[in-house]
Amino acid sequence: MKKIHRSVLLILLATSAWQPALSEDEWPPHQALDAHYEALLLQENVAGFNVGIFANDALVFAQAYGVAELGTDNKLTPESVFHWASVSKPLVAVAIMQLAQAGKLSLDDPVTKHVPYFSMADPRSGDITLRQLLTHTAGMPDVEDYEWDRPQHDPEALWRWIRDQTDRELLFDPGTNREYSNIGFELLGLVIEEVADESFEDYMAAHLFGPLQMRSSSFIASEIPSELRVQGHVGAPERQVAAHYPYNRRHAPSSTLNSSILDMANFAAAMLNGGSFGSVSVLSPESMKEMWSSAWSWPDDPNRLSGIGWNLGLPWGGIFAASHGGQDDGFRSFLYLAPARDVGIFVVSNDENAPIRLIMRAALEAAFPVEAQMLQDGSAQEDGG
């Protein structure tokens, strides 16, 4: 694996900034996009999905399609709260960057500095750094069973889960390769608990959801009002309600973000505005730059990079973006931010077979009409959504 220097990413940011996105007052695709999504809902037999588009400091599109639960007339609304699965990870990255900014930790600290009881059946585990966990380059194995059917809810669930890894081994020497690991982010959640001296969920509520006015968001599923929470759906072509809502407190940092597209618009606004939301700053511009600059490249794709809790690169139309997707039983999600263009797109579905790529592509074409035309003409690249 080859590390990409910050200067390279800054060049990518600069070269993708030539065409502004549409503002709220210039949003002609609204009706056409809405009609497209209504047709897609029926065509793909999807239970439901919500789409938000943030452009030039405004939420220009926030629409809901389908129902919160099949067999009911409970329609989705922009306020509906979904399980966002691995889109949890960029928020964890922000929390770690906050603690680094406050001088309470360094990204290159060994994890055992903050969680001294962490151990595995592999002496190399003592060399793992926080940066390696954030970039999935620590060699950590992954979760084999999330146990959604037998969730643990108590405050020590995460601590017990990390203690349970003592008989597992690393996949490779830390820092020499990349393998996606949910356990790595769960360990980061425990780092947050130890450094901040409060539960992971309480820290995220106080330092992210509160300042960003994400009033419907929580990493604890039971905190979401029943009238807002939606049900996941599985199966194809016949959909059915998932047997279990994907929640287990031991996996909160990697997977259990519950939020709405309206709340995610506030998160996107802060990320696109150098870490600030109105008069509140959750990260400094310098910390934002580091989060989106420290990267590892895929050997087979130099345009695809792994940042601090984010995927980075040029996934669609040659536009630099920070993004992350998510999928768990009954749910799919995708968060896409183009910082140089001040555009954020966030898509979530309560159907694990939802065509997220098609939903994302339509939003990208609406937000970036020039690049969409270039793709149609064959003069730009497409690999996004």
pLDDT of residue 339 exceeding 50: yes
Q: Decide if 232 contacts 49 (C-beta within 8 A).
A: no
Quote the number of domains for the chain. Answer: 1
Q: Decide if 61 contacts 30 (C-beta within 8 A).
A: yes
Residue 385 resides in a domain: no
Tokens coding 277? 């939301």
Per-residue pLDDT, averaged over 115-143, amounts to 96
pLDDT of residue 318 exceeding 90: no
Per-residue pLDDT, averaged over 213-235, amounts to 97
Residue 383 resides in a domain: no
Please give the pLDDT value at position 294: 65
Written as one string, the DSSP assignment of 21-76 is PP-GGG-TTHHHHHHHHHHHHHHTT-SEEEEEEEETTEEEEEEEEEBSSTTS--B-
pLDDT of residue 248 exceeding 50: yes
What does pLDDT average to over the chain? 90
Which three-class secondary structure state does DSSP give residue 334?
strand
Q: How far apart are CA 68 and CA 50, in angstroms?
A: 11
Tokens coding 378? 């064959």
Q: How far apart are CA 314 and CA 336, in angstroms?
A: 11
CATH number at residue 263: 3.40.710.10
Q: Which of 1-5, 17-21, 96-100, 132-136 has the lowest mean pLDDT?
A: 1-5
Q: How many CA atoms lie within 13 A of 285 on its CB side?
A: 3
Confidence of residue 24 (pLDDT cuts 50, 70, 90): low
Tokens coding 329? 């039983």
Q: How far apart are CA 126 and CA 112, in angstroms?
A: 6
In the chain, the percentage of residues whose pLDDT exceeds 90 is 81
Distances (CA, A) of 23 to 54, 59, 348: 9, 9, 23
Residue 370 resides in a domain: yes
Q: Decide if 232 contacts 242 (C-beta within 8 A).
A: yes
Q: How far apart are CA 125 and CA 128, in angstroms?
A: 6
Residue 382 resides in a domain: no
Per-residue pLDDT, averaged over 66-92, amounts to 98
| pTM, rounded to two decimals | 0.91
Tokens coding 204? 């995220």
pLDDT of residue 300 exceeding 80: no
pLDDT of residue 171 exceeding 90: yes
Per-residue pLDDT, averaged over 349-355, amounts to 97
Residue 196 resides in a domain: yes
Distances (CA, A) of 256 to 133, 200, 282, 301: 18, 12, 21, 30
Please give the pLDDT value at position 296: 78
Please give the pLDDT value at position 249: 98
Please give the pLDDT value at position 14: 38
Per-residue pLDDT, averaged over 268-273, amounts to 98
Which three-class secondary structure state does DSSP give residue 174?
coil
Residue 195 resides in a domain: yes
Please give the pLDDT value at position 384: 44
Angle subtended at Cα 364 by Cα 331 and Cα 236, rounded to the nearest 5 degrees: 30
Q: Find the domain containing 327 and state its range.
A: 2-377
Residue 235 resides in a domain: yes
Among 234, 233, 224, 232, smallest CA distance to 260 is for 224
Residue 121 makes CB contacts below 8 A (sequence gap 6+) with 166, 167, 168, 169
Q: How far apart are CA 70 and CA 110, in angstroms?
A: 47
Q: Decide if 100 contacts 106 (C-beta within 8 A).
A: yes
320 φ/ψ angles, rounded to the nearest 5 degrees: -65, 135
Residue 384 resides in a domain: no
Distances (CA, A) of 107 to 142, 200, 209, 262: 21, 18, 23, 31
Q: How far apart are CA 107 and CA 97, in angstroms?
A: 8
Please name the amino acid found at residue 183.
I
User: What residue has token string 């592999």?
Assistant: 122
Please give the pLDDT value at position 138: 96
Confidence of residue 269 (pLDDT cuts 50, 70, 90): very high
